[in-house]
Structure 1
Amino acid sequence: MPDSARTAPRFAAALFDLDGTLVDSLEDIAGAMNWALAQHGLPTHPHEAYRHFVGEGVRVLVSRASNEAPGALQAALLESYRAHYAEHLLDHTRPFPGVRALLERLVAAGTRLAVLSNKSDGYTRQLVEALFPGVPFGAVYGERPGVARKPDPSAALALAAELGVAPAACAFVGDTPVDMKTARAAGMHAVGVTWGFRGEAELRAHGAQALAQSAQELAAALL
């Protein structure tokens, strides 16, 4: 059907990753982790290195940043990271250019919105509430005890059920292989964005069915 004749959005719902997809949070994550490493006498990393540390939850972040330090030290690093990040998660984190307008276009078209992140649930909700006031997300899920993290599809499927939308009618939008794997495992359309933590080739290799280099291109893929 030509775009001019389309009366409904291409997908009934769009599920978004948070870090690297909706918001540019690299500086605050890297700053908090480097602070924690320094507090425990460990070497820090250039902020760009964190593009390959994030995406699979905070414990994996700590393990990678500490070069798989012993368990007791990782636990102490995790506590230090969380304490510092809680005070600084909004220092530099902002929505990517055009994202707010994109979300508003989707809402106007009737697309249901949700967020699914491997960031802790409290931080996920805090960032969404602070940076996207008034955007009517139908549900916001972060990492929670007893719920498997992405790429396990369980949380994505629970979100779709909460929105009342079949998985096949959902697009899952993210910036890492974890997101693409989640989408494919859940039977959702995998849409990769190239402005986040990973590049086009890596997203395609892990199942991206569409790619967007800007919010405008993402709108074209979803509407």
Structure 2
Amino acid sequence: MSAASDRDGNGPDDEGRRPQAVALFDLDGTLTDPYPGITRSVRHAMEKLGRPLPADADLSWVIGPPLTHAFRKLLDTTDESLVAAAVAAYRERYGTVGLYENAVYPGIEAALDRLAEAGVELVLATSKVRVYAERILAHFGLARRFRAIHGSELDGTRAEKPALIRYIVETERLAAVSKVMIGDRHHDVDGAAANGIGTIGVGWGYGGVEELTRAGARMVLERVDQLPGAIITTLAGEPAPQAAT
């Protein structure tokens, strides 16, 4: 487990205690807008491999799924050595510059604080490499708000959301805890559903209302200020009000 208290000294000091209610948060497209850093790093990798992308190429779709999926599609290849080379080139830039070319969505800090006031504990569940996620949350002052930060490893372990969420449930002892996933892509909905967890979709990210609804999200929120109420109501087991979409 990677607990917030291990990183900045300001997180929960009771990580051994089983929480009563937990919100599992995706990172990219949910808490922060990573578009500049991710897309510039993807372009860097493709250029290094001699496959530069057109200047007007839409790369918003690469935000959310595991990086290997994106490069298989961009390179139109099943050659895993080529995909690995692309990931390595991506990380050259992303690990030093790209992860900071990022911004917290307005209102996120207040929403997280409202959840804490209501007794909801927060756990990050991102397909992004965990060490990058830790650095991003620490950089923006968000790490202390999280009970734990979980992500994939540099070798690709737990890059798929179903495996990641299963690991979190086991590691954080959440099997008997009221919990909900919050994310912007169908990968979040699918990963949570594979573990018997419902998802609240967020419409300000990179999946959109149609994708999230089709995947089976319980609701799709339009605004960040709707997050606390929707999460608290869902965790309480009451019918959550449908946000306008």
| Class of the TM-score when normalised by the shorter of the 2 chains | 0.7 to 0.9
Residue of structure 2 in register with 1:7 after alignment: none
1:8-47 aligned at under 5 Å gives the runs: 12-45=21-54
Q: Out of 183, 187, 199, which is 1:174 matched to?
A: 183
Could you tell me how far apart the structure 2 residues matched to 1:167 and 1:130 are?
33
1:51-90 aligned at under 5 Å gives the runs: 51-68=60-77, 70-90=79-99
Residue of structure 2 in register with 1:193 after alignment: 202
Residue of structure 2 in register with 1:108 after alignment: 117
Q: Out of 215, 221, 241, which is 1:212 matched to?
A: 221
Cα displacement (A) at 1:150: 3.2
Structure 1 counterpart SS, 2:180: strand
Gaps of 5+ in 2: 1-19, 233-245
Could you tell me how far apart the structure 2 residues matched to 1:111 and 1:48 are?
40
Cα displacement (A) at 1:19: 0.7
Cα displacement (A) at 1:161: 4.3
TM-score with structure 1 length normalisation? 0.85
Residue of structure 2 in register with 1:151 after alignment: 161
| 1:221–1:188 distance in 2 versus 1, CA, 3 Å | same
Q: Out of 102, 121, 126, which is 2:130 matched to?
A: 121
Could you tell me how far apart the structure 1 residues matched to 2:84 and 2:170 are?
35
Could you tell me how far apart the structure 2 residues matched to 1:203 and 1:209 are?
9
RMSD, matched Cα = 2.3
Letter in 2 for 1:61: A
Whether contact under 8 Å (1:167, 1:188) holds in the other structure is: no
Letter in 2 for 1:13: V
Structure 1 counterpart SS, 2:58: helix
Task: Please give the per-residue CA displacement for 1:10-33, whole angstroms capped at 9, x wherever unaligned.
Answer: x81100011111110011000011
| Count of matched residue pairs | 212
Cα displacement (A) at 1:89: 2.6
Whether contact under 8 Å (2:127, 2:158) holds in the other structure is: no
Structure 1 counterpart SS, 2:145: coil
Could you tell me how far apart the structure 1 residues matched to 2:22 and 2:158 are?
22
Cα displacement (A) at 1:75: 2.6
